[in-house]
Structure 1
Amino acid sequence: MSTPHVVVVMGVAGTGKTTIGPLLAAALGVPYAEGDDFHPPANIAKMSAGTPLDDADRWPWLDAIGQWAHDRAGLGGVVSSSALKRSYRDRLRAAAPDAVFLHLTGDRALIERRMAERKGHFMPPALLDSQFATLQPLGGDEAGVAVNVSGTPEEITERAVAALRRLDSAR
């Protein structure tokens, strides 16, 4: 990519944001921030109990991610965030206008299987339906790309880097 952007790796739980994010950051030569680390303890407790977050829960979390992205403006970085709704992405863009989004997409059965296989994560597979119900894919006017999560993490990362480079060339 010609200019260092902050890339927000987005998608429903289980798409591999935490796996692909660090690989993408390494490929781009920029730092990575795990979006889950920005959640306040109350959000983690709520999700651990199987209760979906509401917008009031998400605003402080998104603001913290947005501040990190703002601080990385011109330097580049990769951060994970479900960013499921347009309004969430708008909030992130308000803090970091040059941010671009990498939407990790995939077949529900694959994502559910991956969620069931992970160990020690606070987001239970039971909340996947609420994630898909909330998801608003990137709009044509949003700076970002969608990449399918089938294949190995390395294959997904290669596709992501190529898609982001094409996006950068078109901007």
Structure 2
Amino acid sequence: MKQGSHDSAITLRSPLAEDAADLHTLVAECPPLDPNSLYCNLLHCTHFSGTSVAATRRDSQGNERLVGFISAYIPPAQPDTLFVWQVAVAQEARGEGLGRRMLDAIVQRPACAGVRYINTTITPGNQASWALFESWARRHGAPTTSHVHFERERHFAGRHDDEHLMRIGPFELAAEFAT
């Protein structure tokens, strides 16, 4: 972890309903992420708490601040795949490997015991996300593929960039995390 003005380490935990408003604020502070409704963020923190992660840090007064979040779920028709919806990292926590640590924390959970692939969609210009997922795949020796999944004109009526589906896997992580 980078040394600096932070008094404590980052804690990774399952999200709570009470995190929804802070998640809403965090996503707004992390362009180019698409903002979701506060209610949608509440669903991320409750319905998807087993496959999402909240990263918090205590300040010098002991207050917990949300500094990172991954929204993810296992699609019902793809029980071997974790779909990562959004990765948000606060400016103050960037450069600490937090995205990688959050991904590792999720795939180690019992809810992800059968997961062998990670899917995510990324716009062409979101270099931070491309770098995170490519690095994570290399680190775990997993192949990647990508292709345009949602098209600007066809799916977004010209109001959003293309979204490329990146698929990582297959991978086998149980033994890797057991050591």
* TM-score with structure 2 setting the length: 0.29
Larger helix percent: 1
* TM-score with structure 1 setting the length: 0.30
Larger strand percent: 2
Computing the radius of gyration from Cα coordinates, the structure with the larger value is 2
